[in-house]
Amino acid sequence: MSFYDSAVPAYLQMLGSLSNLLDKAEAHAIAKKIEPAVLLGTRLYPDMLPLSRQVQVACDQATRGCARLTQNEAPSAPDTETTFTELKQRLTRTIDFVKAFTPAQFEGAAERDVTFPIGGGNTQTLKGQQYLSNFSLPNFYFHVATAHGILRMCGVEIGKRDFLGAN
């Protein structure tokens, strides 16, 4: 399996899943007469990020993961989305960005040094394989799974197949 095949399809599958989850969440809000901002602001726990930020961070992980592994710049994303429509547009932009990468761009990425911020003005450097396996994908899946959990907690009728992207 190529390094491209370890990264891009995983990001795309879950970004598509997240887009479908937002469709179901929006339909749920309409059907139950719930203000969309309430769902988008819901957290699993007070110190956790709300649904809207979970989506934004998942997009960032996919975008930055591909960009860092291929030594490209990630597009700026200012985190200003406040509606389902805006979040879905961000997902579409992210999917388009990830889809634009080619297998050739990932050649050598497994052994390439990837330096990234880890908070507090600090950085960390990992080999590409470690970065993808130990940082980028786990963070990406965490935020997608947390978004799914928030929506389940709010009563949106979704399950494991929705998380995995099965229709």
pTM (predicted TM-score): 0.96
Separation between Cα atoms, residue 77 and residue 13, nearest integer Å: 21
Domains of the chain and CATH, by start: 3-164 (1.20.120.450)
Least confident of 72-81, 137-146, 148-157, 158-167: 158-167
Count Cα atoms within 13 angstroms, Cβ side, for 90: 27
Please give the distance of CA 158 from its chain centroid, rounded to a whole number: 18
Separation between Cα atoms, residue 90 and residue 98, nearest integer Å: 12
Separation between Cα atoms, residue 86 and residue 65, nearest integer Å: 22
Q: For residue range 58-84, what is the model confidence (pLDDT) as tens digits?
A: 999 999 999 999 999 999 999 999 999
Q: For residue range 87-144, what is the model confidence (pLDDT) as tens digits?
A: 999 999 999 999 999 999 999 999 999 999 998 999 999 999 999 999 999 999 999 9
Q: Which residues pair with 115 in a beta bridge?
A: 125
Q: Is the pLDDT of residue 167 over 60?
A: no
Separation between Cα atoms, residue 117 and residue 62, nearest integer Å: 15
Q: What's the pLDDT at 1? A: 78
Separation between Cα atoms, residue 42 and residue 145, nearest integer Å: 14
Confidence tier at 166 by pLDDT (50, 70, 90)? low
Separation between Cα atoms, residue 85 and residue 167, nearest integer Å: 21
Count Cα atoms within 13 angstroms, Cβ side, for 130: 10
Q: For residue range 1-46, what is the model confidence (pLDDT) as tens digits?
A: 789 999 999 999 999 999 999 999 999 999 999 999 999 999 999 9
Site of tokens 């309430």: 38
Q: What's the pLDDT at 165? A: 85
Amino acid at 166: A
Separation between Cα atoms, residue 92 and residue 104, nearest integer Å: 23
48 or 1, higher pLDDT: 48
Helix, strand, or coil (residue 78):
coil
